[in-house]
Structure 1
Amino acid sequence: MRVTERLLAHRETMTPSERQLVNVLLDDYPMAGLGSITELASIASVSTTTVARMLQKTGFVGYPQFQAAIRSEVKEMISGPVAKRDVWQNDLPEEHILNRYSRQALDNQRRSIDEVAPEEFDSFCRLLCDPDRRIFITGGRITGTLAQYLYLHLQMIRPDVKLLSDAASWTHDLLEVREGDVLVALDVRRYENTTLLIGQLCHERGAEVVLLTDQWRSPIHRLAKHTFAARIAVPSAWDSMASILVLLECVIAEMQERLWDSVKERTEELEQAFDRTKLFRKFGQSSGS
């Protein structure tokens, strides 16, 4: 289990002061846990004894082991492609890539969806369906393709959706962000500075931030109203985005059902436009018709 998962798994058995400590760790993870035990206790306004007791409840022998676990996670967060492959290559089973890769990717999807709280998912979908809120979507160098995928579908579902992708124009687009709007940000390791900056600027303008990230969680989570952490590690130099894509498609499917009457009307108008532009091939018709 990740450090944050261990903290959350034992939260119900903790005293109020221990839960206060956990909140401080989660709000500024991993940085809050990288200082000394006295520094952490001071930041959380608890005693060092409380820190030690909380760690024992979560299965850590002591503060050094706790910090070692955090440092290991930080190393994973900032790993580049070469380092990721080095982690996997020594433990790969003797089987075809189709089997070992797909098994891990499918397990990632299952575990990621299992970890999503249905009420939080529903709250996210309500935000996106609210006609009084405009939707802004952003992603990074790789996750930008997922951001565009979500954008194209939301364009069909509802009005007032904008993709923040073009470096020359996203700063102008931010001028339109107002209190109550929604920013959907996609950010996975090695966490991009531009995506974080967009999150910060939208948050400052009063937008609700929703983050789709990996199991280590982008720094944007400290700004986010909702954070969905998907598992992305696979036996490859590059991470798999399949778990995030599945979650996005669940969102798209739920929004379609919630707004079906208006979605149906928008889709019919869109199909008429497609027919006029001859974007899609109509089988059974000659090319000149």
Structure 2
Amino acid sequence: MAETAQERIKAVGGQLTRAERQLADVILENYPMSGLGSITRLAEKAGVSSPTVARMVQKLGFSGFPEFQEALRDELEAQISNPIAKHESWSEAAPQGHILNRFTDAVMSNIRQTLAHADPAEFDAVTALLADSTRAVFVAGGRITHALAEYLHMHLHVIRPRVQLIRTTNNAWPHDLLDLEAGDVVILFDVRRYENTTLKLAEIAAQRGARIVLFTDQWQSPIARHATASFNCRIEAPSAWDSTVAMQLMSETLIAAVQERAWEQTRERMKTLEEIFDATRIFRKFV
């Protein structure tokens, strides 16, 4: 799958002039909608000249502004496509072969592209935030991604104290923000057909000084403008449903990294938990 325009902007960030960086910030602020107006309007909004816009889109690998806008329109269409539309698209273009192979090929490609665009420094910074037990951690997902949020919450809760799951699928989630303090960490999962409830949660958390960590797709949830860090994971697959395998991989890698960084504390918590399990006889023992 080709890079999104957003990924291209980030990839060439170090090659941009001051005016081009100013333009890039404006484009990314409300991406991709910000780039769908006229070249003159975009230039005025960024406080640069129209030739500056033309030069930058060429640096991104586009022949000109019309091709750049066409790419943005294609991305917007992909963001809002519903499951039926996605299935019809794959049915027309899917390669021959068994679904096991086709689906696995797509997922492996998602993983490779997700890791290719991952920033190790950003990942390490998030690890440090989550290993800092002076900060409370709140985790939330959406209609589909709540399962990923619950998985991450369960593991972080074993690793360190003060980890809370926010269930945005009911109307009680505002109660969960009562104890949120400045400097706490809010981890959010949000993929295309982005959810208003999760966005509102992010807005409130940001206003209260929280550090927001976002797991999203390659088109990027609007929550990104409030986020301290964003993990953009590829999600397309030959199915009416998106694949969250790459997102789960990033999540599990983060679990491993936080556990390693906070191992002394984690080991004691795991030991205590195992003692509780033994007392309750929840699990069978074979020896």
Mark yes or no: TM-score above 0.5. Answer: yes
In the TM superposition, residue 38 of structure 1 has moved relative to its aligned partner by 1.6
Q: Any idea what SS the aligned residue of 1:175 has?
A: coil
Point out 4+ residue stretches in structure 1 off by more than 6 angstroms: none
- Corresponding letter in the other structure for 1:104: A
Deviation of the 1:19 alpha carbon: 1.4
**What letter corresponds to residue 272 of structure 1 in structure 2?**
E
The reply to whether residue 200 of structure 1 matches residue 203 of structure 2 is: yes
Match of 2:103 among 101, 104, 122: 101
Paired amino acid for 2:152? L
SS of the aligned residue for 2:213 comes to strand
Equivalent residues in 2 for 1:58-77, closer than 5 Å = 58-77=60-79
Paired AA for residue 251 in structure 1: L
Structure-to-structure mapping, 1:218-233, within 5 angstroms? 218-233=221-236
Aligned partner letter, 1:88: W
Answer yes or no: is 1:274 the counterpart of 2:273: no
Question: 1:210: Cα distance to partner?
Answer: 0.7
Deviation at 1:94, TM superposition (A): 1.5
Q: Deviations over 1:125-173 (max 9, x none)?
A: 0010112110000100110000000000011000100111052421011
Match of 2:166 in 1: 164
Amino acid at match of 1:110: R
Matches within 5 A, 1:17-56: 17-56=19-58
In structure 2, C-alpha distance between the alignment counterparts of 1:15 and 1:200, rounded to whole Å = 31
The CA deviation at 1:11 is 2.7
TM-score normalised to the size of structure 2? 0.96
Alpha carbons of structure 1 residues 168 and 57: separation in structure 2 relative to 1, 3 Å: closer
Task: Name the CA distance, whole Å, in 1 between partners of 2:245 and 2:12.
Answer: 29
Deviations 1:223-256 (A, max 9, x none): 0010110000011110000001010110110111
Deviation at 1:48, TM superposition (A): 1.0
Q: Distance in 2 between matches of 1:63 and 1:240?
A: 32
Residue in 1 aligned with 2:112? 110
Residue identity opposite 1:93 in structure 2: P
CA distance in 2, matches of 1:11, 1:275: 54
CA RMSD of aligned residues (A): 1.1
Amino acid at match of 2:21: R
1:146 paired residue among 148, 157, 168: 148
Q: CA deviation at 1:68?
A: 1.3
Q: 1:259 aligns with which of 258, 262, 265?
A: 262
Structure 2 counterpart of 1:182: 185
CA distance in 2, matches of 1:106, 1:279: 36
Mark the runs of 5 or more structure 2 residues left unpaired by the alignment.
none
Q: Which whole-Å CA distance do the structure 2 matches of 1:266 and 1:226 have between them?
A: 28
Cα distance between partner residues in 1 of 2:164 and 2:247 = 20
In 2: Cα distance, 1:227 partner to 1:154 partner:
18
Distance 2:167 2:120 in 1: 30
Structure 1 counterpart of 2:212: 209
Q: What does residue 120 of structure 1 align with?
A: 122
Q: Which amino acid aligns with 1:260?
A: W
Deviation (angstroms), 1:72: 0.7
Letter in 2 for 1:55: V
Distance in 1, matches of 2:125 and 2:12, equals 25
CA distance in 2, matches of 1:268, 1:164: 26
Equivalent AA in structure 2 for residue 162 of structure 1: Q
Counterpart for residue 83 of structure 2: 81
For residue 13 of structure 1, report the CA deviation from its aligned partner: 2.5
